[in-house]
Amino acid sequence: MKDSELSILQDPDWRQVPGWPKYLVNRAGQVYSTHSKKLMSPYTRNNSPCVQVSHNPKIQLSVREMVAAAWMPVVAGKPYACHRNNDYHDCRVGNLEYRAEPQIKQGRRKDASPSKESVRAQVYTIWQSMKQRCTNSNHPSYPNYGGRGIGFCNKWRDFQPFYEWAIRSGFKPGLTLDRKKNDDWYTEWNCRWTDQQTQCRNTRRNRWIEAFGERKILAAWLEDPRCSVTRETLLSRLKDGWKAEQAISEPPIPHSQRNHRVSLHLCWDELKSLKQWSADPRCLVGSTTLYDRVKRRGWTLEQAMTVPPIPYELRSKKEGWVKVAA
């Protein structure tokens, strides 16, 4: 043991940290490691100086807690060591005290209401984006807005009228500017503030489905109590030609009763698999040709079954070569 280490261990200004005998702290808030035989350099974590006392598992302790545990007696009912002057890097014994509640770090609270300046800045960004989409031909979204003839009213050419309408119509941080009718301009009567989910349901890309005398988008039908399938199943059924009411309301086949996930196809008001359709007397092609036409070439089922196959001797091969029967 070196003389410098022995002097530190015998120095009354250094004390062992309870539970961590390899670490010493002094009244000035310094930490010494008897393992590495040197003063440790704390790093900032959550705005407080910390040191790593174990690598496996990884354990980190704040210098404040280490100094308080070594130098300050525990006070009943006050388990939290806090800073007197709210300086989290000042871990001297004289700057620490025990309190009944943890110290609240200075700074803006997450639940605090935004300032008028930040709200105005957000509204200004939305206003600028609206103008760019409608007037700047180099904007990525211009083809879907200005390119389609979508513009904004003359009153909103200046920012102040738009800002006053935004505050009056209930703007809050996180909301987006949405048009009630996608083919009309940005005007006071056609615009509203909605969340991102509501706006995504009001786009031209949505798939509308008519069933049970109602017309709703796919996402709305999935939330309907009459829907008994998932999104993937509903899309697959509609792609296979199912009627909308049947695709929505018919419960899925239990996994134990499924025949290797055989998909059923609707034609002539009948629902059969491709293998069953290939055995139907109305089908003019074999099962392989039928599967190729429907799955790979995208033919409708009725067309795939009723168009007769091309005779072998008339089929074109590579470079125009045709096989002629002998």
Write out pLDDT tens, residues 93-111. Answer: 888 998 888 876 554 444 4
Q: Which of 4-18, 197-211, 219-233 has the lowest mean pLDDT?
A: 4-18
Which domains does the chain possess? 3-99 (3.90.75.20), 116-200 (no CATH), 206-254 (no CATH), 263-318 (no CATH)
The dihedral over CA atoms of 17, 20, 25, 31, expressed in degrees to the nearest 10, equals -160
Phi, psi of 25 (to 5 degrees): -130, 150
263 contacts 236 by C-beta, under 8 angstroms: yes
Q: Which of 61-65, 99-103, 260-264 has the lowest mean pLDDT?
A: 260-264
Q: What pTM did the predictor assign? A: 0.41
Write out pLDDT tens, residues 184-212. Answer: 999 999 999 988 777 777 777 777 888 88
| Angle of the 159-168 helix axis to the 116-135 helix axis, nearest 10 | 120
